[in-house]
Amino acid sequence: MEECHIDGLQIDAVASMTSFNFDRQDDKEQLRNSYGGDENLEALAFIKKLNEIFF
C-alpha cells in the first residue's frame, strides 16, 4: 500500500459475496455450506484475511 500510495480499499457488494442466497427468490434453489448455513465461508475467510493483511 505504501509503495503504490494506496490509502484505502473499497469492497462493494459484500452481502452478495458472503451469502449464497442473496437476492434468490426461489426457496427450492437455496444453496447451503457444509454446516447447513447460507454463508459463503470462502468469501468470509477472504475478507478476514484481507483485513489481517491491511489493517
In a domain, 26, yes or no: no
What pLDDT, on a 0 to 100 scale, did the predictor assign at position 25? 81
Question: pLDDT tens digits, residue range 9-54?
Answer: 888 899 999 999 998 887 778 899 999 999 999 999 999 998 898 7
What pLDDT, on a 0 to 100 scale, did the predictor assign at position 24? 85
Contact 32, 40 (CB under 8 A): no
Structural domain count, the chain: 1
Contact 44, 17 (CB under 8 A): no
In a domain, 8, yes or no: yes
Question: What is the span of the domain harbouring residue 8?
Answer: 1-21+32-55
**CA 28 – CA 55 distance, rounded (Å):** 40
